[in-house]
Structure 1
Amino acid sequence: DVSECETGAHNCSQMCRNTAGGFTCHCYTGFQLDEDNTCIDINECLDNNGGCERSCTNTPGSHQCSCGDGYRLRPDNATCVDYDKCEYLNTCTQRCINQVGYYTCACDAGFHLHTDGKTCLPDVPCTEENTCSLAPAGLCGQVGGQDRCSCTSGYTLQEKDQATCIEVDGVTLNQCDDLAACVNTLGNYRCHCRGGYSITEDGRTCEDVDECAVDNGSCEQECHNTIGSYWCSCRRGYEIGPDGYSCIDKNECVLPEDNTCSRRAECINTVGGYTCRCLPGYEGDGLVCADVDECAIGNGGCAGTCENTMGSLRCHCRQGMKLGANGRDCIGQCFII
Structure 2
Amino acid sequence: MSALVADVNECEVDQGGCEGFCCNVIGSYYCKCPDGRRLGPDGKSCQDVDECEEMNGGCQQTCVNTPASYHCECSEGFRMHSDGRTCIALNSCSVLNGGCEHKCTNLGNNQYKCECRKNYQLKRDGRHCELRNPCAERNGGCAQTCHSHEGQVECGCRPGFSLAADGKNCDDVDECSSGQQKCSHGCVNTVGSFSCMCNPGFELGADGKQCYRIEMEIINSCEENNGGCSHHCEHTTNGPHCSCNQGFQLAEDLKTCIDSDECSSGQACCSHFCRNYPGGYECSCRAGHTLNPDGCGCDDVDECLAETSGCEHYCVNTLGTYECFCRQGFRLDQDQHSCISLYAELDEEEEDEEEDEGQVPVLPELLFRNAPQLLHYTSALHTGYSNDQSDYSDEDEEREGQRERRGELRLNSQIVCLEGSFGDDCSLSCEVCLNGECSDNKDRCECSPGWTGTICNQTCPSGTYGKVCNSLCRCQNGGSCDPVTGKCGCPPGVQGVFCEDGVFIHSLHFYT
Higher relative contact order (CA 8 A, sep 6+): 1
Q: Which has the larger radius of gyration?
A: 2
Return the structure number with greater helix share.
2
Please tell me the TM-score bracket, short chain as reference. Answer: 0.3 to 0.5
TM-score by length of 1: 0.34
Return the structure number with greater strand share.
1
